[in-house]
A and B are shown apart, each in its own frame.
Chain A
Amino acid sequence: MHGTHDDGELKGLERSLAGLRPAPAGIDRDELMFKAGQAAATGRAGLAPNAAVLAVLVAAFAGAGTTWLARPAAPERIVQVTVEKPVLRVVELSPMMPAGERPERSVARADYLELRDRVLAEGMDALPPLGPAGGAAPGGTLDDLWRDFGIPPRHSAGKAWAPSTGRSAQS
């Protein structure tokens, strides 16, 4: 009952308060409308520079991308290099040439180098056929080998040279 009475009093006070009218706002309507127009125009104009900047950026990126994709490929260059064949020097060896006068490259080594170059250039077919003995050195006896190394042939027995395998040494 007391609560209801209080509620009734509060409702009455609420109605009395609502009867009061707030003081005039004191806002200049013309000034507010002018500033509102300015604000609206500024909002619209503010978008234009952003759009222009965005368009310029898009154009710049598009141009850069097109340039990147359309750039010419690097030209393929073919370079020809001529390699001179080594000049082989053939030196005739005397049987008893003193050690100081011996050439560093013997005829056998020159033959070997020439043969190697031919094998490298033409393949295994460039190798000379083996001799009839199968394991004998091509074209020569042991005396020829001694002579190649500047040793007099008197130390040899005149037999054909063969690789020094254990079996051949025993035989």
Chain B
Amino acid sequence: MAAGKSKPIDTQLLSRLLDEHGRALTLFARQYCDSPEDVVQYAFLKLVRSRQGHGNMVPWLYRVARNRAISIARSSTRRQRRELRVARREQPWFEPDYAEELDARAAADALKALPEPQREIIIAHIWGGLTFEQIGQVVGCSSSTAHRHYNEGLSSLRERLRSPCTEHTTTEN
């Protein structure tokens, strides 16, 4: 994980953070709002404005992105939320044909169908690389609660991915 220690933010560090965590951060923000790129850019710029590196920069970026995305989603109107649901279906969450074992579209649909606490913890742990303690700091719960949500979410995903046709139809509706 990049930048574990506190260090000043320079161009190289920012570029490295963007390379290593830009995709996962965008995926994490995409589950809340329809403008995840703006959210991630906001988080990086806030890190630069703070003018010094945080001890745990990556969890800090996730927390800032989560708060920003939820704030944007709450401020949007009902019509915008409906458009967001449509946009979520259209925007791919994962690169197609990258994994051999799982269908990217089916996995994304199964993820979208999960309750938010389970979904955000699974994304933060699997693709963000955060520990359950760091996830607890990001979402505001204990590490044991985060771990429990994670296991419940994985179990639900397993069930949904066993019957992809039924689940796909349910998600589309």
How many whole Å from B35's CB to the nearest CB in chain A? 10
Say whether, besides A10-B155, A10-B158, A33-B14, A22 and B45 are in contact (CB < 8 Å).
no
When distances are taken between beta carbons in the complex, the residues of chain B under 8 Å from A43 are 48-49, 51
9-residue interface stretch from A23-31, A68-76, A82-90: A23-31
Answer whether A36 and B23 are a contact pair too, CB < 8 Å, given A22-B93, A29-B18.
Answer: no
Among the 9-residue stretches A13-21, A111-119, A145-153, the one with 4 or more Cβ atoms under 8 Å from chain B is: A13-21
Q: Is B45 a contact of A39 with CB atoms below 8 Å? A: yes
> Whole-angstrom distance from the CB of A98 to the nearest CB of chain B?
112
With A10-B158, A19-B99, A36-B11 in contact, is A27–B18 under 8 Å at CB?
yes
Q: In the bound complex, do residue B45 and residue A35 qualify as a contact, i.e. CB atoms below 8 Å apart? A: yes
* Closest partner residue, chain A, to B25 (CB atom): A25
Complex: chain A residue closest to B151, CB-CB: A10
The answer to whether B41 touches A32, judged by C-beta atoms less than 8 angstroms apart, is yes
Q: Are B26 and A19 in contact (CB under 8 A)?
A: no
Check A19/B98 contact, CB under 8 A, given A24-B23, A36-B14, A43-B49.
Answer: yes
Contact pattern, B 12-51, Cβ under 8 Å of A = 1, otherwise 0: 0011001000111111000000000100110011001101
A97 within 8 A of B: no
* Chain A positions within 8 Å of B9 at CB level: 36, 40
Please tell me if the beta carbons of A9 and B158 are within 8 angstroms of each other in the complex: yes
Size range of the chain A interface in the assembly: 20 to 34
CB-CB < 8 A to B158: which residues of A? 9-10, 13
Residue in contact with B107 in the complex, picked from A6, A9, A17, CB distance below 8 Å: A17
The reply on B157 being an interface residue by CB < 8 A is yes
Of the four ranges (under 10, 10 to 19, 20 to 34, 35 or more), the interface on chain B belongs to 35 or more
- The answer for the CA separation of A36 and B40 in the assembled complex, in Å, is 13
Q: Which residues of A contact B146 (CB under 8 A)?
A: none
Is B172 interfacial (CB 8 A cutoff)?
A: no
- Residues on B with C-beta less than 8 A from A40 are 9, 48-49, 51
- Contacting pair B49 A39 (CB below 8 A): yes
Interchain CB contact under 8 A, A27 and B41: yes
User: Do residues B126 and A18 form an inter-chain contact, with CB atoms below 8 A?
Assistant: yes
Nearest-neighbour CB distance to chain A for B53, whole angstroms, equals 13
CB distance from B135 to the nearest CB of A (A): 15
A27 to B40, CA, bound (A): 8
* Across-interface contacts of A33 in B (CB, < 8 A): 11, 14-15
Q: Inside 8 A of B92's CB, which chain A residues have their CB?
A: 23
Q: Mark A29-70, 1 if CB is under 8 A from B, else 0.
A: 101110111011011000000000000000000000000000
Q: How far is the CA of A20 from the CA of B26 in the complex (A)?
A: 14
B104 partner residues in chain A, CB cutoff 8 A: 20
Other than the given A21-B94, A21-B99, A25-B37, 5 more pairs (CB < 8 A) read A20-B104, A22-B24, A23-B23, A32-B14, A33-B15
Can you spell out 21 A-B residue pairs with CB atoms less than 8 angstroms apart?
A: A6-B155, A10-B155, A13-B154, A13-B157, A19-B99, A20-B102, A21-B95, A22-B95, A23-B23, A23-B93, A25-B18, A25-B37, A25-B40, A26-B26, A27-B40, A27-B41, A36-B45, A39-B45, A39-B49, A40-B9, A43-B49
